[in-house]
Amino acid sequence: MKSLLLFLVIFIDWSVQAQIISTSTNPSSKKNKSRDSTSIVYFDFQQLNTRPTLTQNTAFLTVPLGERANETALKVWSYQVGLCSPISKSLSFDGGLAMTQTGEQYSWNSTITDSSYNYTTKYRYFGMPLQLKYQTGKDFVFFIGAGVVPQLFQSYQQAISWTDSLGNAGKKTLNDESMCQSFVLSALASTGIQLHFKSNYGLRFSFYYRYQFTNTYGPYQYFKHYSTGIGGGVALTRKF
């Protein structure tokens, strides 16, 4: 009788412990099914419509903007490789290296003769986009994020073309890098969706807004130059 009672006590104790273990592990498995805890690497192709903001540099000289006030937006490409890693249930850190561009264009056509004058200007930088993102979902992920982009100046290029009153055409390219600051800082915001496939590869579709905080030009230039950009990006991604 005592042996039977001892057996029953041991069996009940083992059953209770097994039940506790099974109930304590279920919530975590459910949580893993409801969100994606893996990191992704990506290569992103971005096209932004960048618009210049030009003001007088009154700390140096007060020079009228002239025809430069008529510069308009220019669509430019940027490219980024990066890593997006979760840091909590809904937050992730997205960082990478990028070749970023900003720019503007100008066009003038005479109403009397065949004369014309046009140029496009591009500023190229090596950037390090850093964002904190909120995201939800596993195979179909929605995200929204914001951060900063430190940028090191790489090159300045202005492609000029013209025709004279007789219709003769000409063109030239300017590369005056001395006028630009070596470093600028921009703010970055993004939102979009991420699609994960069974092969661990996926696609990410993003909407971007970029705003330049600091002046493109040096302190002894006639003007202060800033750029804003709005556009989209498509990235090839892979989980690991």
Spell out the domain ranges in the chain: 1-34, 38-239
Q: Which two tokens stand for residue 37?
A: 């805890």
Largest CA distance in the chain: 120
pLDDT digits (tens, 9 = 90+) for 74-129: 999 999 999 999 999 999 999 999 999 999 999 999 989 889 999 999 999 999 99
Please provide the distance, in angstroms rounded to a whole number, between the alpha carbons at the two ends of the chain.
59
Q: Is the dihedral of CA 36, 88, 85, 153 positive or negative?
A: positive
More confident residue, 22 or 222: 222
**Gap between the Cα atoms of 97 and 104, Å rounded:** 24
Residue 35: the pLDDT is 57
Residue 4: the pLDDT is 39
Q: Is the pLDDT of residue 17 over 50?
A: no
Residue type, 31: K
Residue 37: the pLDDT is 66
Beta bridge partners of 29: none
Q: What percent of the chain has pLDDT over 90?
A: 77
- Model's pTM, two decimal places? 0.82
Return the CATH number of 38-239, one of 2.60.40, 2.40.160, 3.30.460, 1.10.10.
Answer: 2.40.160
pLDDT digits (tens, 9 = 90+) for 121-159: 999 999 999 999 999 998 899 999 999 999 999 999 999
Residue 240: the pLDDT is 85
Tokens 């937050």, residue?
A: 91
